[in-house]
Amino acid sequence: MLKILFLGDVIGEPGRRAVVDSIAEFKEKRGVDFVVVNGENAANGRGITPRIAIDLLRAGAAVITSGDHIWDQRDIVPYIDTEPRLLRPINYPDGTPGNGSIVLETAKGKIAVINVQGRTFMQPPLENPFVAMDQEVARLREETPVIFVDCHAETTSEKIAMARFLDGRISALIGTHTHTQTADEQVFPGGTAFLCDAGMCGPVESCLGREIDPIIRRFLTSRPAQFPVAGGPVKLHGAIIEIDEQTGRAHRIERVAQLYHPAGDGREDERSR
């Protein structure tokens, strides 16, 4: 059985530190074989830089997915064509730098990862994600039955519809973007594992990873404001999916909601499932 760990949107330096420090432990203690991380908010909460991508890959992430903030850091544009393990949404127009999918050879066979972005309430609107996924999944299934999808979208309906549309053709679809973990993990009849939103890897005492007071002021005044990444305790959110590597069917999905304890603090890990 293949175990894939997916970690939701990494928020700034606190989220990066927690993810980098924790991947090896997930592999050792939870038997994780393959790690996918959404890194689109890893650079101070907006985008990702080449150095951050390198740090996440060196820590053990096999693939980094992204979303609508992928282009927020200028130096990512020349870098993304040189690192195929950093994905941008697949439904960008032809000619966009980077790739929206990848297939990697592992000890348990080939694993495909696709990054797709929804259109409802998302800016800028991209090409139709359902058409793009229909075509890409058909192409990748010629190479491997194990296909993991990060669906970066705002609405629950679009993410659920995408997963139902692909049920039986992909191994798992996990949603990202809202930074708030949902509790609807399940395996659909066709063998596709689903979680509407993985949540974030970021500060607990925050508003979606940002300092609370500036966001409240923005709602009160409607005036522009800076939203710094919050501090304090950090929680890792995501999911672990168990997949039959021969058929690509998911057998089990478990939510991850784990407080990050820096090395040497002497406390036990806390998990909610």
- Which is it for the CA torsion 5, 231, 44, 181, positive or negative? positive
DSSP states along the chain: -EEEEEE-EE-HHHHHHHHHHHHHHHHHHH---EEEEE-TTTTTTS---HHHHHHHHHHT-SEEE--TTTTSSTTHHHHHTT-TTBB--TTSPTT-SSBSEEEEEETTEEEEEEEEE--TT-SS--S-HHHHHHHHHHHHTTT-S-EEEEEE-S-HHHHHHHHHHHBTTBSEEEEESS----S--EE-TTS-EEES---EEEESSSBTTB-HHHHHHHHHH------PBP-S-EEEEEEEEEE-TTT--EEEEEEEEEEE--TTS-PPP-B--
Q: Which of 69, 152, 177, 179 is catalytic?
A: 69
Q: At which residue do the structure tokens 């985008």 appear?
A: 47
251 flagged as catalytic: no
Tell me the C-alpha distance between 83 and 78, whole Å: 10
Active-site residue numbers? 69
